[in-house]
Amino acid sequence: MTHRRVILAAGISVALAAAACHEDDLFSPAVPQYTGGAMFQRYVSMGNSITAGFQSAGINDSTQRQSYAVLVAAAMGGDPFYYPSLNAPGCPPPFTNIFTQARVGGGTGTTCLFRNAAIPPYLSNVAVPGAETIDMLNNGPLPGTNSNPLTQLFLGARTQVQAMMAARPTFVSVWIGNNDFLGAAEAGDTTLATDTAVFRTNYAKALDSIGATGASAILIAVGLGHLANNVVVPFFSRGTTWYGLWAGGAFTAQAPLFTVAANCAPPRGDTVLVSFPYGFGLLAAGASTATTLDCTAPPVIEPVETRFFAGLQLRYNAIIQAQATTRGWAFTDSVNSTLDSLAGVANQFAPFPNSAASCSGSPFGLAFSCDGIHPNQATQQKIARKIVRAINAQYGSAIPAVP
């Protein structure tokens, strides 16, 4: 729910206007009546696209409501949880078929219906798709920042830290850092990843701001599965998968001129990762032009790079856990563990996208939305449950279970 915009007539006094600005203080719900409930009176979530509610390469009010942060807030039962609600079909609308590029409402990747006109008194979900650790502190256009139209649409001229502090939270969750290496992974270029020293500095500065509010927090480990355990989101397919499908004639009818090089074959190809856009782009070209998937050519992620990103994830998470320990806050790596488990369950992670399926058919597997990176509603629920359990374990609280 959001507050309706209040239009003040010229004759209304300054005192009444001030009272209207603080109506959230005057009408806050009672402190949640469970053990530790006062800590969760006002919850704020910081992060990037997963926290914001991005699914199927798009975002709108429907997907925003499915974010784990909204589910955790509902379980906490504190003050209203406000997010920057986007009008349907979205900004951009989510895919309905990623292979034909069809989107909700007939939109395109540039369609944007902007925010709901009702302005909330504060933002509880200050996460922005595309954000890296530096973006919690800087809202562009400084070098290295990643501001995009959604940054301005969600936060205006504020940073995530500023919006968080303005909300006066009693509890904050932080799940950010995936994009500090995901962009580098997509490009197959390790030099684009955020250096661990820079990551540590940016992350600590944001946490200092949380500490200044007096709020407690939970810090969530980077990743959607442990790369060191060979768990990779289905946005990437392994070189061996591509090689096996090609050798078995799976692509002959649609792309007779497409070939896969032997350097994609096992055992080397087991740790070679090919992104969905790159691989399928080559496949499309192979319908009329001689095209080869070479598993030594960028942006393919080669074995040494796969090991680099796995190590980087571990280093980022060691930093995050150390910060939580130092500050006496909760830390959880349970999201990665949950995805590790799902990866071993049939049909949860598609080893190769099912190009015959629309988004309703889960072409990337039952755990993911229709872009192969962002969790779907069911997985968001699993994430929310894990986060609540981790909070209760650290603080001895009794937040009710997420349904």
Residue 152 sits in a domain whose CATH number is: 3.40.50.1110
Round to whole Å and give the CA distance between 177 and 195. 11
400 part of a folded domain: no
383 part of a folded domain: yes
Mean pLDDT rounded to a whole number for the chain: 93
Structural domain of 377: 32-231+303-395
Domain boundary among the residues 293, 323, 339 is at: 293
Mean pLDDT for the stretch of residues 379-391:
99
Q: pLDDT at position 140, please?
A: 81
Q: pLDDT at position 112, please?
A: 97
Q: pLDDT at position 28, please?
A: 61
* 149 and 285 share one domain: no
Round to whole Å and give the CA distance between 186 and 182. 6
Task: Measure the CA dihedral 1/72/348/235, to 10°.
Answer: 70
pLDDT > 90: what percent of the chain? Answer: 91
Domain count for the chain: 2
* 353 and 261 share one domain: no
Domain boundary among the residues 246, 263, 293 is at: 293
* 138 and 86 share one domain: yes
* 202 and 81 share one domain: yes
* 199 and 252 share one domain: no
* 110 and 148 share one domain: yes
Report in angstroms the alpha-carbon separations of 96 from 163, 175, 306, 310, 327: 32, 27, 31, 32, 43
Question: Per-residue pLDDT for 10 more than 90?
Answer: no
DSSP 351: S
Q: pLDDT at position 144, please?
A: 85
Q: pLDDT at position 15, please?
A: 35
* 223 and 262 share one domain: no
* 43 and 122 share one domain: yes
The larger pLDDT score, comparing residue 19 to residue 374, is at 374
Give the model's confidence band at 184: pLDDT under 50 very low, under 70 low, under 90 confident, else very high. Answer: very high
* 288 and 307 share one domain: no
* Ramachandran bin of 356, using left for φ above 0, alpha for ψ from -120 to 50, beta for the remaining angles: alpha
Q: pLDDT at position 142, please?
A: 80
117 part of a folded domain: yes
Q: In what order do the strands lie in the sheet with 216-220?
A: 43-47, 171-175, 216-220, 330-332
403 part of a folded domain: no
Task: Kindly report which listed range (145-154, 293-302, 307-316) carries the lowest average pLDDT score.
Answer: 145-154
* 284 and 185 share one domain: no
* 222 and 283 share one domain: no
* 258 and 334 share one domain: no
**Model-level pTM?**
0.92
